[in-house]
Structure 1
């Protein structure tokens, strides 16, 4: 009984620290950029956007496998060099999306986007976050950088969303990257968002080629699950 209570207490402590970590390192900077650019905190869609990502990231942080959690924060010498450049591009233009969306809200560059489009886009942002979360929690090798994790016994994952797509997490990211612009009422934010999506398409292709060359069993898996990113297309 004591062990059970200790484990529960440790789990609760981990949950609290996980949420604090997410607040400090993602949602707080995100919110600051978004609302500073907007020049106001009275922005319902901005707060809803932050809340969606807070819930998603907190859930991932709490329930993610501890080995994978450590893997994602470490630097690895065998990470692919091209991936570092893509990640920098993705990060920079992802930040630009928030800034432009905020400025657009302040100055009204995009005019009034119909509420029906904003509601639908909000649902797509939620869908993208759920798919991304499902991909991470189903794959113990979902690393921050592209590499073969030989020291962790890297295996092909074929359950969960990986039954349908080879890179479902990236489809989730692309979905919320595009639709967050409409959710936040900014057509102009689509410009940097498109750069992020293109970078993820390139990353999907290069990562898939790497896995087919270097990960045992992946070629056979790719024959069974034909599509990398978009069902029935690619």
Structure 2
């Protein structure tokens, strides 16, 4: 399992690097190097923790983004996300390095971006600790005894991993120095919100106790906001 984790992480980082540096037209982009290294180190940190404490969840996290158990809408969504993510990285590389469409970001904002990326992965670690069913795809994991989780971060918001993803969405363009990338963030958030609503409909219909959980925990991503 650890070998698979390392292999998939390396492949993912190589693909991201190819998109970023290829679109930038140069390897002399320190912010992109830091972004790739930070994501790689933090991903391996969480993955190795899962390998020790919850290998079943790690297996789910390493599974393909398109699976037979998924609803058709979620398969389409995940494919769209993969395409959008690649396009977003290319856009930020064009903006920050190749064409310089927007002014450079202040160092303080770039540093804030790095902090946001760290906090995203750090929060995901606590999500995984609370929820052994936090698969990357929307499905009912009946074979693993899927049940409602209402402890940890789930006691405050219904989708804490999506809340953590908000930090990644903001942190990525800040760290890479792209105002254009930051301008795309509302579109990404809207897509994630749409998925959360569809996911809740499926869980309410197929997972015992989820409707009651929704009544107890009012907010989806951020307490007191939404």
Contact 1:33 1:98 in 2 (8 A): yes
Superposed CA offset, 1:58-92 (max 9, x none): 12322222222333416643311111111112111
Pair 1:113-2:113 in alignment = no
The corresponding residue for 2:133 is: 141
Distance 2:184 2:83 in 1: 9
Distance 2:44 2:157 in 1: 25
Pair 1:63-2:49 in alignment = yes
Distance 1:229 1:47 in 2: 30
Contact 2:124 2:164 in 1 (8 A): yes
Contact 2:104 2:178 in 1 (8 A): no
The corresponding residue for 2:196 is: 204
Deviation at 1:93, TM superposition (A): 1.0
- Structure 2 residue corresponding to 1:159, chosen from 130, 151, 158: 151
Q: TM-score, with normalisation over the residues of structure 1?
A: 0.86
Residue 218 of structure 2 aligns to a residue whose secondary structure is: coil
Pair 1:31-2:23 in alignment = no
The corresponding residue for 1:129 is: 121
Contact 1:167 1:204 in 2 (8 A): yes
List runs of 5+ in structure 2 lacking aligned partners: none
Q: TM-score, with normalisation over the residues of structure 2?
A: 0.88
- Between stretches 129-138 and 44-53, larger displacement belongs to 129-138
The corresponding residue for 1:19 is: 6
Contact 1:56 1:133 in 2 (8 A): no
Deviation at 1:21, TM superposition (A): 3.0
The corresponding residue for 2:80 is: 89
Look at both structures and tell me which one has the larger radius of gyration over its CA atoms.
Answer: 1
RMSD, aligned α-carbons: 1.9
Deviation at 1:33, TM superposition (A): 0.9
The corresponding residue for 1:5 is: none
